[in-house]
Amino acid sequence: MKETEKFKIQPLNGKVVIKADKPAEKSRGGIILPETHNDFVYGTVMAIPPNYYLPYLDKDGTAAMSTSNIEVDNRVVYINGSGIEITVDDETYLILEEKEIYAIINK
């Protein structure tokens, strides 16, 4: 999806919309895995808030603002069970706080 295209969900206030990867149903050895077998899960960022800035303290202890590092189409890692799950047009998505994302997986 291109940055200029509108996604059907527009997150606000530091929230991020994620499409979770389908979890593995079997291990490499053929063992059937429960849905909650992994603490960390992966997904793709589908939408971010418009013009969102993160507050932080600079080296002098003064409040400042920074742009987010998260971008649409980033593959990310987050904790299983984070955020809220919603369904729109028969597709299931997660809405997470940006701070619930632990890492961006570089391509």
Residue 62 belongs to some domain of the structure: yes
Asked if residue 59 belongs to a domain, the reply is: yes
pLDDT digits (tens, 9 = 90+) for 71-104: 999 999 999 889 999 999 999 999 999 989 999 9
Q: How many helices (H) and strands (E) does the chain have?
A: 0, 8
Whether 42 maps to a domain, the answer reads yes
Instruction: Tell whether 5 is covered by a domain.
Output: no
The Cα 62–Cα 103 span in angstroms is 26
Residue 3 belongs to a domain: no
Range from 24-28, 60-64, 65-69, 78-82 carrying the lowest mean pLDDT: 24-28
Question: pTM for the whole thing?
Answer: 0.74
Query: How many domains is the chain built from?
Result: 1
Amino acid (1-letter code) at residue 80: N
Residue 14's pLDDT is what? 85
Q: Which of 64, 82, 79 is nearest to 15 (CA)?
A: 82
The CATH number of whichever domain residue 52 belongs to comes to 2.30.33.40
Is 2 part of any domain? no
- For 96, the domain range is 15-105
Residue 96 lies in a domain: yes
pLDDT of amino acid 97 = 92
Q: pLDDT, tens digit, for every residue of 9-59?
A: 999 888 999 999 876 665 667 666 555 556 888 999 999 988 777 777 888
- Asked if residue 36 belongs to a domain, the reply is yes
Is the separation of the CB atoms in 40 and 78 below 8 Å?
Answer: yes
